[in-house]
Each structure stands twice: as C-alpha cells, then as structure tokens.
Amino acid sequence: MGKKIIVAGLGHGGIAVAAILAKAGYDVTVYEQKSEGTLGYDWTDIFDPKSLAVAGIPMPPEDKYKIKEDMSFCGPCGNNMLKQHIPEAMKEIKMERKDIYAHLINHGLSCGVKIVYDCEVYGPIMAGDRVVGIKTAKGDFYGSMIIDACGCNSPVRCNLPRCLGVEGAIDNSQKILIYRAFYNKASDEPTDDVFKIILYAGGKPGINWVAAEEDYTDVLIGRFKEFDMADVEATIKNLMKKNPRLGSEVVRGGQFVEIPIRHTLSVPVADGYAAIGDSAFMPIPLVGSGMANAFRASRILADTIIADTEEKYTAETLWDYAVKYHKELGAGLATLECVRSTLLQLKPQDVEFIFENDIINDDDLTAFTSIADVKELEALGFKDIMGKVKRALRNKYLIGKLCGAGVNMAKIMYFAGKMPEKWDKEKVLAWAKKYDKAFK
C-alpha cells in the first residue's frame, strides 16, 4: 500500500503520532482548517508530563509551564470542601495551550511532518469499504492510511459508512459545553483553596471551577446542555459571592467549546482509518481532559502502524491499537462515565448530602479526577465501603441511584473485559453493540 499517511486535523494526538511516523520514515502530511500560528485557545491546559516521553516528545522549557495545584471540590452550597492529594511524582503541569501547540508543531516539523494550513476537512473518500483519502477545501487528497484527529464532531468519522462499525455523531448528553475565561482579580484576599471545583453550582447540573491565579481568576463553566452569555453572567455573579478574588471583567479567553465526556470509541478503526484524541472520545469522562491520553494513544497507534510490515492498514492489522488502548486506559476510564451519568441523575441536595456525609472523600476524588496515570491512582479510592454505604442509607433516593450505578458499573466492567483480542468483524461489532448499550 505504501507509506503515505494523511492526518486529518491538528489535534494533539494527531500531531504526536504524525511526528513518530515521520521520524520512522513515513511520508506524513497534516491537513488543518485553521491558519498557521492560530491554534490553541487563549487559556492554559493541564496534563501529565510523563505522557510526553511516551510519545517521544521532549519536555517544554521550564519557563513555559508550572506545576498544577491540587484541586478542591465542593457541592452546590460551597461548603464541605474536599481536596485532591496527588503524589509529587504524579503532579500534572499547567501550560498555555498556544505554547503547547507551538511545542508540538515544532517537534513534528523537526521530525519531518508536513502541515497544510487553511484547509478545512469535509469528509472521507471511500473506495468500497476502505477509507482512501479526505475531501477538503483545497481538493481531494489520497493516502495509504487516514488518521482522524479532527475532534469530537469530526467530519471524517461522522461521514463514514455505518456498516464499518465506527460510531458517528453523538448527542449532547455525551458532550459537555464549556465556557472558559480569565477574569480580573478583584482583591488580594488569600484563599486556602486556590483551584476550586463546584458541582451543581446554582443548582444546575454541571461543573464550575474557580482558580485564583496571581494576576487573574480562571473560571470554567461546564453544562450538559446549551447555555448562553446571559447564563454565564448570572453564574459569575453567583460565584463572586464566595470568591472575593473573582472580578467581573474578562481579560482573556471567553470561548464556548464542546468536549466529549463518554467512553472511548468501541471501534476506532476501519480499513485505511484510525481515530485518535477527541475524534475517538479519549478525554476523561469526569473532567474532560484528554491530552495525556492522546499522547499515550499516539505511541500505541504509531507502533501498530509500523508493525504492519506488509502495509495493509486494514481494520484487522489496526485492531491491535484499539485493544491495547482499551486495556491500558479505555476500560478503566469507562467506569468514570458511569459515575458521571449517576451524578447527572442526582438532585442538588443529594450532591450536597454526598459531601456532608463523607460518602466521597479526598482519596476517592483523587482517584476519580486526576488526569495522571489512572492505574497508579485507582487504589487510592473506594476505601471504607461499608461505612460509605451506611451513611448513604440515610438518603433513600441516593442509595437507590448508587445501587443502580453499581449494577451499571459491573455490567460495563463485564463487557469491557469481553473485547475480542483479534479482529473478526462480526464478533467485534456484536461486542461493540453490547458494550455501548451498557452505557445507556
């Protein structure tokens, strides 16, 4: 088939896998709709720095990042604060998104990646059941294999024939809409909780964060349905009541963005095609960050492509990528989608009850919400199970929901363990149907 690889979109995972393959001698071109120098929202991002090494990406200069503070969590009332306790060796870093992109792109170019900017991707080009290229604003481009890094609403993935088994468009219940901006600092009043997450702020399902930086306050508002600037302004006024450092003037950012918060694609490959990053729904379901996962996935995908010495790039030869990612990350993260869906079914007073009665404690939150290595953290949570159950029994509605969540989580874990090791289209699609259904 050859070694001409097309990457659709400059997602983090896309440029990472492009760099690995270009360095290995592949002819790799990335097609990106935005203009050169414009990638990256005007805000910071958080990720596990160890994931860079996995993808063969050097650490950025020390003056380009900071160590992220542990997050504090509270319910709608803003009381009963719980806090992460991330081990020092597992601390994430915080970095300007524009600087992250510059670092990744420079690395990719140094490895031999070619990038075509101002080139919107419209969809895939098919030859029977095989993806052979992409349709773009600058014409049709063909390659031996297409890597989809176009994001949550990828026009490549969404326009694939459904018979391939790759899931297309998803509904709003599987995405979170976020608004994020940096606001002026209204006072120098010190705070013990520098990075605070509020669940169901104002009684509305979703998350807010308020991070008190030295010169500004970083605010994120996340909801599971559409909202507008009027809602943003009302939320900011509400947050200002318990966050005196938060001002009302936007100094940076101010964008709305959609992020997938669901389990990874059960079938992320087809003949001539593989999805990565947001295109494959790799963000962590509870917090929406997926950069580190995309970097780890880039190594798995690149190794899988390189191992295909006959250069077939079929669903059969690419399936190992899906299996390895599922075992290393996807299956563990899938259970967090169950936690998310359970939280969405609760009432604000039930969320507050959880915090007031220590049903979730500091260690549980550390395990649930860290964007570092999930396997290293999962042992931190789920202690004192019987004590949690006894306290939860005081709230009959809550215990019903938690029991239901336990049953669903067991079902998800069962089907997650049944993923076929080898590609057999009939068996894989039958498994995917059962696995996906377990989340509904």
- Please write the tens of the pLDDT for every residue from 115-140: 999 999 999 999 999 999 999 999 99
- Please write the tens of the pLDDT for every residue from 22-59: 999 999 999 999 999 999 989 999 999 999 999 999 99
Share of the chain above pLDDT 90, in %: 64
pLDDT bucket at 360, cuts 50 / 70 / 90: confident
Domain spans of the chain, in order of start: 4-66+94-170+262-331, 173-260, 337-415
Burial class (CB in 10 A: 0-12, 13-18, 19+), 346: buried
pLDDT bucket at 374, cuts 50 / 70 / 90: very low
To the nearest whole number, what is the mean pLDDT of the chain? 89
Among 76-85, 156-165, 167-176, 408-417, whose mean pLDDT is lowest?
Answer: 76-85
Collapse the DSSP code of 234 into the 3-class scheme (helix H, G, I; strand E, B; otherwise coil) and give the result: helix
Selection from 205, 30, 193, 170 nearest residue 114 by Cα: 30
What pLDDT was estimated at residue 405? 77
What pLDDT was estimated at residue 88? 82
Pick the CATH number of 173-260 from 1.20.1740.10, 3.40.50.720, 3.30.9.10, 2.40.37.10: 3.30.9.10
* Confidence check: pLDDT of 190 > 60: yes
Strands 4-8 and 145-148: parallel
Packing angle between helix 12-23 and helix 97-111, nearest 10 degrees? Answer: 20
* Confidence check: pLDDT of 280 > 90: yes
Instruction: Average the pLDDT over 388-409 and give the result.
Output: 73
pLDDT bucket at 396, cuts 50 / 70 / 90: confident
* Confidence check: pLDDT of 72 > 50: yes
Distance of CA 417 to CAs 160, 174, 334, 410, 431, Å? Answer: 27, 22, 11, 11, 10
Instruction: Average the pLDDT over 77-82 and give the result.
Output: 83
* Confidence check: pLDDT of 381 > 70: no
Say which CATH superfamily domain 4-66+94-170+262-331 falls into.
Answer: FAD/NAD(P)-binding domain (3.50.50.60)
- Please write the tens of the pLDDT for every residue from 299-346: 999 999 999 999 999 999 999 999 999 999 999 888 888 877 877 778
* Confidence check: pLDDT of 352 > 60: yes
* Confidence check: pLDDT of 393 > 70: no
Selection from 302, 278, 275 nearest residue 290 by Cα: 278
**Which helix H or strand E contains 346, and what residues bound it?**
none
